[in-house]
Amino acid sequence: MSFTTTGEHEAIRKAVRDFGEEELKPVAREHDKEQIYPEDLRRTAADLDFVAPHIPEEYGGAGMDMLARCIVTEELWRADPGLGSAIGSAGFGSSMILKYGDEWMKEEWLTRIAAGESASCSCISEPAHGSNVAGIETHAEKDGDEWVLNGNKMWITNGTVADVGVVMAKTTRDAGHKGITAFLVPTDLDGFQPTKIDNKLGIRASDLAEVVIDDVRIPEENVIGEVDKGFYQLMDFFASGRTGVAAQAVGAAQGAFDAALDYAGEREQFDQKIGEFQAIRHKLAEMATDIEAARSLVYRAAANVEQENPDQAAKFASMAKLFASEHAVDVADEALQVFGGAGYVSDHPAERYYRDARITKIYEGTSEIQKNIIADRLL
């Protein structure tokens, strides 16, 4: 399947790269150190259509195809993974609203997210249930014309900054994946209690929270899609979500590589640039090759997602996420090695890319889960 980029794709790449160089890189270290969520940068990025680029034009978005969205993600993370994550994740959960939500949900929330006025979050994982979505314990009980939600969500991106959340809850207990429903939940409702998680290893500029949901009452019209069909609805976005994380990994790897390449051309030892030593040249060659291989897999996965080819999209999305995330960590590690002792301190970005890249092997399905998915489609 073809995944050649067009002139429009490359124009998007240049625009995001310019934004990253001019707006993100100069403040990346400060945002990482102080764990500052980039509210102003998110709004600026929204003006440029870099926030939730999947949202159609009719709701104020850019309506980009999957490959273009991967390029946006890649370039944001290339500039800085922490800031890239904060900006790129501002629309978490909005795909569910777009595909399955009622028109009033789209008009009220998609327009605000695309404009940068609001962020959204997707409340799926729980303290005891990460990879096992079907095992979630958050539940919703019908009370007249309302639903009452109770539970505990964990590792929720944008948990303390979002204005709206898509919350997955059991509506038929003991039914496993067959009893899950998606709900639209404004975060200012009584009982929605987020607590910021501020001891993260990486992507420290992005917001992460634990969310306690204590007798949160919402009207029945806030059901997204159909009751007890939430898991099946969620499955529609696994491939695109994993492809997006793979693009994040490519961006982090490219950023680490760029920093190492520049340093190798500047640092001198034994009266010559370290980039002239064969040991360093071979490192750089292997790093560049790994990045290009990962990028090709990501773009192939994006093409299959765009063509709505479920089996192929699922397979290549998992392959892309597995390969890109594993090699992003390897590339970041080698980049730090090129810097030597200077890479181990925060004076240079090498240590930040090293910390930031690691998350891509975990969320949206761990590397181990991706291997299971790939194997299921081979045997």
119-133 tens-digit pLDDT: 999 999 999 988 888
Residues 149 and 212 in one domain: yes
Share of residues in the chain with pLDDT > 70 (%):
99
Average pLDDT, the chain: 96
Q: Mean per-residue pLDDT for 352-361? A: 98
Is residue 318 a part of any domain in this protein? yes
Q: Domain with 216 in it: what CATH number?
A: 2.40.110.10
CA-to-CA separations, 277 to 258, 262, 267, 271, in angstroms, rounded: 18, 15, 11, 11
Residues 107 and 13 in one domain: yes
Buried b (16+ CB within 10 A) or exposed e, 85-103: bbbbbbbbbbbbbbebbee
Q: How confident is the model at residue 2 (pLDDT cuts 50, 70, 90)?
A: low
Q: What is the pTM of this model?
A: 0.96
Domain termination residue (choose one: 213, 229, 245): 229
CA separation for the pair 367, 211 (Å, rounded) = 26
Domain termination residue (choose one: 229, 262, 286): 229
Phi/psi of residue 268, nearest 5 degrees: -115, 140
Residues 68 and 55 in one domain: yes
The pLDDT of residue 1 is 55
The helix or strand, by DSSP H or E, that contains position 153, with its residue range, turns out to be strand 146-157
Contact 160, 180 (CB under 8 A): no
The pLDDT of residue 24 is 98
Choice among 74, 326, 351, 364 that is catalytic: 364
pLDDT above 60 (res 109): yes
CA separation for the pair 107, 111 (Å, rounded) = 6
Is residue 2 a part of any domain in this protein? no
Q: Which domain holds residue 90?
A: 7-114
Q: Provide the 3-class DSSP secondary structure of residue 193.
A: strand
Residues 218 and 170 in one domain: yes
- Residue 292 annotated in active site: no
Phi/psi of residue 70, nearest 5 degrees: -65, -40
pLDDT above 80 (res 3): no
CA separation for the pair 66, 48 (Å, rounded) = 17
Residues 371 and 250 in one domain: yes
Contact 23, 83 (CB under 8 A): no
**How many structural domains does the chain have?**
3
Cα atoms in the Cβ-side hemisphere of radius 13 Å centred on 115 = 12
